[in-house]
Chain A
């Protein structure tokens, strides 16, 4: 014991100490040596238990002891040897163990002091003041000061040698300055000396009292210090031991729980108290979030009444959501799963017992008191909290994790499996809200969540989700409906009835998307047109706009699958014209070519991204768009003959690609989807429909299309028809008549189909010809326009443009809608025209009809003058 005190007091000569001890132990008999050393070592060890390094080493020693015991019974010599080694071990141990945090500090301080003294001897002020010489960033003196500062913070007395050092330092500084030595010093050294003097002055001021006492009686001061330290060490040692015993689970959180340890652990009585503690600590800077979660889990175990369980669950779920402070990272999966389970529990409790409700706004109640339905007014205990926000958060976190996980790894798939549970939770919540009928807003929100999980999924997946939801004991009324469409319909109808216009909009879009996914083009198109969303979508929020884009795209794909090529083309046109398909569908960040996004924008962009499993394959989309463009554009190209008209392309992206492909001198075999389609287009232009069909059908991406085989068949059919049309447009001038039978043979079409196509072309005035039924031929009447007629047409166009320009100017002059052009049926006409365009009529027709309409009005306006001209 004495030796220990020595060590504590002045650790500077640890060497002698240990040797002292060694001589002591070696001097004793074999049985004795371990005895004093071991308890001491243990004792000391526990004293320094905060030192994490020591605990494994301690175990080691214990292990070795255990091993030694049987060994000792057997062999004496070995035992002696063993103890000897053990002794050495423990000795080493002691040496290390003694370095408790405090001792370490002391040692360090001394070392610093020594090095300072050394530096002093060689008059090296730089080392002391700035530490440059040793390539250290901090000077020795600063280091020392800092350490003392720490010492003071911990509440320990200032070691006398520090005072000693600074006093010494002061004198030597004064000496150095007064001496001529200063002159000999180099510049840096001198500067360091001056700086040092300043620092010393300051430090002396800080420690004025101590220094005075020290100067008065150095020895007394030292004694005082030892006296102060010694009892402190013992008490501290005992205290830490106590704590170590008690806090076997953890040692960090006792500040929050209470310093007295955990004697009265978590019982159902103090649940509220603990809860309040946790709640108070929540959001504070130094709170250990994982520890809070653990406490709450414990509390949940002991919670006895329903009220308690609800309260604890509410706190626990929020604590779990709090776990991740940053917005960008997602919640760990295990935490998420736990949270999901707890939300389930919560909903179960509330759903089974309708005496308890969780509401966002309640009357104030005592947080610490237990409440039962009997005591409450109306027999219902209202608890502050929000289940719907938990569900929302769960869903959001799920999406976020999917956004962050690499979609090509197995982890993604694993994570995706959790959707089942999430979906069950959502349906559970829906059932609860559906029954409670008090929180209509929450019900619509939860229904929206449910809808968003299923609207974009094929039937099989939805059925699987539904099955898992109904397997559990959820009494969700909606899930019994069977068919997916009915389910979605019922969900949407509920949302339509709700007052929230945003949710209504989203529900409409989801509904349309669903119909489009099920190839019900006409229903979905009519719904879209009736919703008039295309007029107001520009003012909606980004997420809804993305949903709108997805819906439109799905509608286009649906039209394509149904074989409505023109509709598909016009629908997809809009989104492809922007050339930012990925960005518009939130399936990838668009690379800005000219300006870089700010980090905030990029972050926001990333948060908007859809998880991978919801993506619409853009390559497939592009293939569909380009093929439909091809089928529309190639006959059109063949039909026009003047350069003037050629500029009016229906599908600019397609036309651009085609021009690019035309400019290519050598064309190899097609590789990408685009190559395939471009070569197919050329084949179609040449009337080689078979090659065109083969090329289009060999595009690999079709395999991603549901019902790929039928789609391919449909495409083949369309290619035959359009091939015929292109052929007629291109070669009509060279024939005076063509046999229908030959045409049907060339294009493998029935004569009836050929006849109907030709009739349609004649009717649309695309082809100046007539059918001779008796001879089975089509007779062409080629009419060449004379120069005058051509000019007259050009003039008509130009004048039309002029008139429109004038009307526009007039409108802007007169101010907005009051304009001449928009009077009367003008506005309606525009709308109707939009509808027509949506319906897939060609834009050109709409344009001319509008031109005519305006022209008519123009004529009316100028009626008198025109009449005058005629009279003349």
Chain B
């Protein structure tokens, strides 16, 4: 397992590797024979109850942008995440220092965990998102880095805080698809390459089924907690007649539309962003077209000149490198607009689901008020 451990070491850029001394003694050819699991692709992700609660707690505490590392092992195509720990919140304008400190924190944490004897192999990270719009440059970038370093490319678990607050915790596991990794490696997100790779926002990530596992002991505890039992007082009010340790929630029956408004606002913002991005792209492509036209004209002119010179019996002028004469700007990257589209998609899907459930509740309310 040593090799596996070495391979799955945390890889945030500057993190000093908490290298195990045995690492060097292991020949590279052994890797395969020792680590048989690397051959088996992951088909399911199994999340421990501990991980879910920790993620939910972290997300609730830190608000929107909570993320942390997942620890665990893969076994027979099932990635078992048994633990996780949060990472400090990254500000968008992260500087060198904060990155370093994050890396330091991460390595220390891992060392401490291994000292305790807990699992210390990183298998991915988790990220909280709102309203299903988890497509962000940072997420994709981080995942792309992990993909190269981590075992099986690593996974990302997205936790949607909004649905959680509605009483319906959502966890989804993703990993990057091959076309995207290919494109990312070549840093080529031009329209042509997107078309070639058949890359749209919907196939940047592929979803892996998630299974939440709680150990039987915990199950039984939960069962006892939710089980209602009659009040010992016989003359109790009907509302207090049955009590349970965890009272049942009725948040699904809430007919307020606060979430809807927020959803709409964010959707509008995303659409606006997309529009801005589109106009940027259009501007760039116009500029490219203009430059290219200039270059083409130059080339044809030079060719005609050369033809005339040859006809006159003169040596043709050298066909100079046009790239030196004309600076054709590189094709703009479509990644950003693609991600924005993904965001819009996420927002509208959550909007659709929220409004459909809202409609159902409305009908229910109507029916009940009529009854």
B275 / chain A contacts, CB cutoff of 8 Å: 798, 801-802, 805
Minimum distance in angstroms from A762 CB to a CB of chain B: 29
User: Could you say which of A787, A791, A805, A869 contacts B268, with CB atoms under 8 Å apart?
Assistant: A791
Q: Of the 9-residue stretches B61-69, B227-235, B256-264, which lies at the interface with chain A?
A: B256-264
B206 interface residue per 8 A CB criterion: no
C-alpha gap A795/B356 in the complex (Å): 18
User: Could you say which of B257, B268, B278, B349 contacts A795, with CB atoms under 8 Å apart?
Assistant: B268
A794 contacts B268, C-beta separation under 8 Å = yes
A742 interface residue per 8 A CB criterion: no
A799 / chain B contacts, CB cutoff of 8 Å: 271
| B-contact 0/1 string along A774-806, CB 8 Å cutoff | 000000000000011001101100110110010
A792 contacts B264, C-beta separation under 8 Å = yes
A798 contacts B272, C-beta separation under 8 Å = yes
Q: Assuming A788-B257, A788-B260, A802-B275, is B353 touching A872 (CB within 8 A)? A: yes
Q: Could you tell me the dominant secondary structure of chain A's interface residues? A: helix
C-alpha gap A799/B348 in the complex (Å): 12
User: Could you say which of B264, B272, B352, B353 contacts A791, with CB atoms under 8 Å apart?
Assistant: B264
Smallest CB gap from A801: residue in B: B275
A795 contacts B261, C-beta separation under 8 Å = no
A869 / chain B contacts, CB cutoff of 8 Å: 349, 352
C-alpha gap A791/B265 in the complex (Å): 7
B271 contacts A791, C-beta separation under 8 Å = no
From A791, A869, A872, residue with most partner B Cβ within 10 Å: A791
B267 interface residue per 8 A CB criterion: yes
C-alpha gap A562/B156 in the complex (Å): 72
User: Could you say which of B264, B271, B349 contacts A788, with CB atoms under 8 Å apart?
Assistant: B264
User: Could you say which of B260, B268, B278, B353 contacts A798, with CB atoms under 8 Å apart?
Assistant: B268
Q: Assuming A798-B268, A799-B271, is B261 touching A791 (CB within 8 A)? A: yes
B352 / chain A contacts, CB cutoff of 8 Å: 869, 872
B272 contacts A795, C-beta separation under 8 Å = no
Minimum distance in angstroms from A461 CB to a CB of chain B: 56
C-alpha gap A802/B275 in the complex (Å): 8
Minimum distance in angstroms from B192 CB to a CB of chain A: 13
On chain A, the number of residues with a Cβ less than 8 Å from chain B's Cβ atoms is 13
C-alpha gap A480/B152 in the complex (Å): 101
A805 / chain B contacts, CB cutoff of 8 Å: 275, 278
Minimum distance in angstroms from A790 CB to a CB of chain B: 9
On chain B, the number of residues with a Cβ less than 8 Å from chain A's Cβ atoms is 16
User: Could you say which of A787, A798, A872 contacts B271, with CB atoms under 8 Å apart?
Assistant: A798
B257 / chain A contacts, CB cutoff of 8 Å: 788
Minimum distance in angstroms from A643 CB to a CB of chain B: 16
C-alpha gap A633/B184 in the complex (Å): 55
Minimum distance in angstroms from B356 CB to a CB of chain A: 8
A802 / chain B contacts, CB cutoff of 8 Å: 271, 274-275
Smallest CB gap from B274: residue in A: A802
Smallest CB gap from A866: residue in B: B352
B261 / chain A contacts, CB cutoff of 8 Å: 787-788, 791
Minimum distance in angstroms from A828 CB to a CB of chain B: 29
Minimum distance in angstroms from A764 CB to a CB of chain B: 28
B-facing residues in A824-872 (Cβ within 8 Å): 869, 872
B260 contacts A795, C-beta separation under 8 Å = no
C-alpha gap A787/B260 in the complex (Å): 10
A787 / chain B contacts, CB cutoff of 8 Å: 261
A801 / chain B contacts, CB cutoff of 8 Å: 275
A-facing residues in B270-299 (Cβ within 8 Å): 271-272, 274-275, 278
Q: Assuming A788-B257, A802-B271, A805-B278, is B264 touching A795 (CB within 8 A)? A: yes
| A-contact 0/1 string along B332-360, CB 8 Å cutoff | 00000000000000000100110010000
Minimum distance in angstroms from A811 CB to a CB of chain B: 14
| B-contact 0/1 string along A266-310, CB 8 Å cutoff | 000000000000000000000000000000000000000000000
B-facing residues in A328-387 (Cβ within 8 Å): none
Smallest CB gap from B272: residue in A: A798
Smallest CB gap from A791: residue in B: B264
B265 / chain A contacts, CB cutoff of 8 Å: 791
Minimum distance in angstroms from B226 CB to a CB of chain A: 29
Smallest CB gap from B271: residue in A: A798
B349 / chain A contacts, CB cutoff of 8 Å: 869
Smallest CB gap from B258: residue in A: A788
B353 contacts A795, C-beta separation under 8 Å = no
Minimum distance in angstroms from B278 CB to a CB of chain A: 7
Smallest CB gap from B351: residue in A: A795
B264 / chain A contacts, CB cutoff of 8 Å: 788, 791-792, 795
C-alpha gap A798/B271 in the complex (Å): 7
Smallest CB gap from B282: residue in A: A809
Smallest CB gap from B353: residue in A: A872
C-alpha gap A799/B271 in the complex (Å): 8
C-alpha gap A869/B260 in the complex (Å): 17
C-alpha gap A426/B272 in the complex (Å): 66
C-alpha gap A792/B351 in the complex (Å): 11
| B-contact 0/1 string along A427-456, CB 8 Å cutoff | 000000000000000000000000000000
C-alpha gap A799/B268 in the complex (Å): 9
B274 / chain A contacts, CB cutoff of 8 Å: 802
C-alpha gap A107/B55 in the complex (Å): 124
C-alpha gap A481/B261 in the complex (Å): 74
C-alpha gap A795/B264 in the complex (Å): 8
Smallest CB gap from B348: residue in A: A869
Minimum distance in angstroms from B168 CB to a CB of chain A: 15
C-alpha gap A66/B161 in the complex (Å): 131
C-alpha gap A791/B261 in the complex (Å): 7
C-alpha gap A787/B257 in the complex (Å): 10
A794 / chain B contacts, CB cutoff of 8 Å: 268
Smallest CB gap from B278: residue in A: A805
A791 / chain B contacts, CB cutoff of 8 Å: 261, 264-265, 268
B353 / chain A contacts, CB cutoff of 8 Å: 872
Minimum distance in angstroms from A800 CB to a CB of chain B: 11
C-alpha gap A787/B353 in the complex (Å): 20
Minimum distance in angstroms from A225 CB to a CB of chain B: 66
B260 / chain A contacts, CB cutoff of 8 Å: 788
B278 / chain A contacts, CB cutoff of 8 Å: 805
C-alpha gap A794/B267 in the complex (Å): 11
Minimum distance in angstroms from A176 CB to a CB of chain B: 60
Minimum distance in angstroms from B207 CB to a CB of chain A: 15
B267 / chain A contacts, CB cutoff of 8 Å: 795
C-alpha gap A801/B265 in the complex (Å): 17
C-alpha gap A794/B272 in the complex (Å): 11
C-alpha gap A801/B278 in the complex (Å): 12
Minimum distance in angstroms from B121 CB to a CB of chain A: 37
Smallest CB gap from B260: residue in A: A788
Minimum distance in angstroms from B371 CB to a CB of chain A: 27
| B-contact 0/1 string along A649-680, CB 8 Å cutoff | 00000000000000000000000000000000
Minimum distance in angstroms from A862 CB to a CB of chain B: 12
Minimum distance in angstroms from A858 CB to a CB of chain B: 14
Smallest CB gap from B352: residue in A: A869
Smallest CB gap from B264: residue in A: A791
Minimum distance in angstroms from A797 CB to a CB of chain B: 10
C-alpha gap A369/B162 in the complex (Å): 109
Minimum distance in angstroms from A787 CB to a CB of chain B: 6
Minimum distance in angstroms from B158 CB to a CB of chain A: 19
C-alpha gap A795/B274 in the complex (Å): 13
C-alpha gap A799/B275 in the complex (Å): 10
Smallest CB gap from B268: residue in A: A795
| A-contact 0/1 string along B242-272, CB 8 Å cutoff | 0000000000000001001100110110011
Question: 20 A-B Cβ contacts within 8 A?
Answer: A788-B260, A788-B261, A788-B264, A791-B264, A791-B265, A791-B268, A792-B264, A794-B268, A795-B264, A795-B268, A795-B271, A798-B268, A798-B275, A799-B271, A801-B275, A802-B271, A802-B274, A802-B275, A805-B278, A869-B352
Further pairs besides A791-B265, A794-B268, A872-B353: 7, Cβ < 8 Å? A787-B261, A788-B257, A791-B261, A795-B267, A795-B268, A798-B271, A872-B356
A contacts, CB < 8 Å to B: 787-788, 791-792, 794-795, 798-799, 801-802, 805, 869, 872
What 3 pairs between A and B have smallest CB-CB spacing? Answer: A791-B264, A798-B271, A788-B261
